[in-house]
A and B are shown apart, each in its own frame.
Chain A
Amino acid sequence: MSVTYLEAIREAQAHALRDDPRVFIYGQDVGVFGGAHKATKNLAREFPGRVLDSPISEDAIMGLAVGAAIEGLRPIVEMQFADFSTVGFNQIVNQAATLFWRTNVPCPVTVRLPFGGTSGSGPFHSQCMETVYAHYPGLIVLTPATVEDAYSMLLEAVAIDDPVIFCEHKFLYYHLKAEKLPSEALPVGKARIAREGRDMTVVTYSAMVHEALEAAKELAPEGWEVEVVDLRSVKPMDTDTVMASVARTGRLLCVGEAWSWGGVTAEIIARVTSEGYGLLDAPPQRLNAKDTPVPYHPNLWAAHRPTARAIAAAARKLLRL
């Protein structure tokens, strides 16, 4: 028996629906059809009246979720693709994210964003939105990299009293398997050392964790021990774990599948250089997707985003500095 990242997300939702009568799911095609990615497969049947198909109206989907949250429910919204959340952007950043600050009324909405590149998906089904949402006060942004985290962090997201942007990577949906679902987990807000090493630190999250682990494996025979930090949540960002790792290794490479400008990787470097300048033996580096829309063709796509090979190359360069 094994469970995929996608199944973990489905199971977490089933668990939440079972345990908490306040939970319901709302989104396009999530009902009997089970969602474009099948993340809500069979849930409409198991939980009648609590898994609702919405019109193609991302703005109204989010607005409705906020209203339901005000009324004490715990909506889980599925944006069919993270890219489409831009249509509901206003309700996310101006309605959901400001509610608690303005009124002292919490807004427990979980917004699931199937995100990130898969080969052939092109500019409008591949985007990484974590940076955009992390920019806004009032939102929590989670980026699970493992099956276990996909499950435990989604359950925790639903329990959190604030709006959570849950970035689930589509590339990991089927690629990633675990033996079983976890019974315990690190809490949201804590990063994880995915691989220990003493020569340099790679800080990354979501699908890039696996690329970074591959790169670390590639560098091991060359004598380099690369530490990989999986942020797990980009907001809040566990700066302490990152700093402790950099204190051990003296070298920092940040990797993100999102665009670089003002992004998560920039934020990590800003924090490490401003708070831990003395820990660094070399200038911190980062590796992101190229500053163009995400290309369709597999040749272009593979060159557009960071890969294990590109991370290894960047790491070698940094290790020689």
Chain B
Amino acid sequence: MGNELIGNNPLRALGLEEKVGGKLQSMMGLVMSRAGLGKTAILVQFALDCMLLGNKVLHVAIGEGLDKTRVWYDDILSLLTDGEKVEDIPEVMKNRMIMTFKESSFSRALLEERLDDLVQQNIYRPECLIIDGYDFASNDKQSLEELRSFMHDRGLKMIWFSALSHREDTRVSRDGVPAPCHEVGDLFDTVLFIRPDGENVNLDILKCEECSLDPGTTLLLDPSTLLIKKV
């Protein structure tokens, strides 16, 4: 199954498609928003894009169960297709693995150990990593730096994180990355922010070193499906 499945896939919308095709260096991206606005939906769209391009995705869900995470994929894929589920399409299914962790038990070291387990036993060699639910408020910059160098070492093409921002925390970095990621914003190549605006839901590009779009550009999300609308 080719990428034609997604008429306006999010990686193409951002001009990042080539990267997962293997032509560019690895990158680290971040999707931020307040609670309940659709961070996971965006991450899953990126993941599905990667999978459809033939890349293996490891989806790490922190504080979320396996079934719930699977449902996200099925919901998004069924919106993009004629109601199909990931498990119905073996070529897509083989490119996804989900790992869930309890908030209290997750650590960078543990993730690295699990990943090495998969790779060394030749079970699964992920090329894209989705980390949903990483606690930026409790983890320091060093942990993220280590994750970034880990990504380089293991040859991962992309890591996407989600981060929860709070209305009351108004701190923001020089390049516009809000708290709690204001001090680690420089580690990310791409930072997107979901912002509701009346009846619309906008996806602001706060930062994108590799995108074809300039920072400050806004993409539109369909408020009912949370899919990225055609530019």
State yes or no: do A and B come from one complex.
no
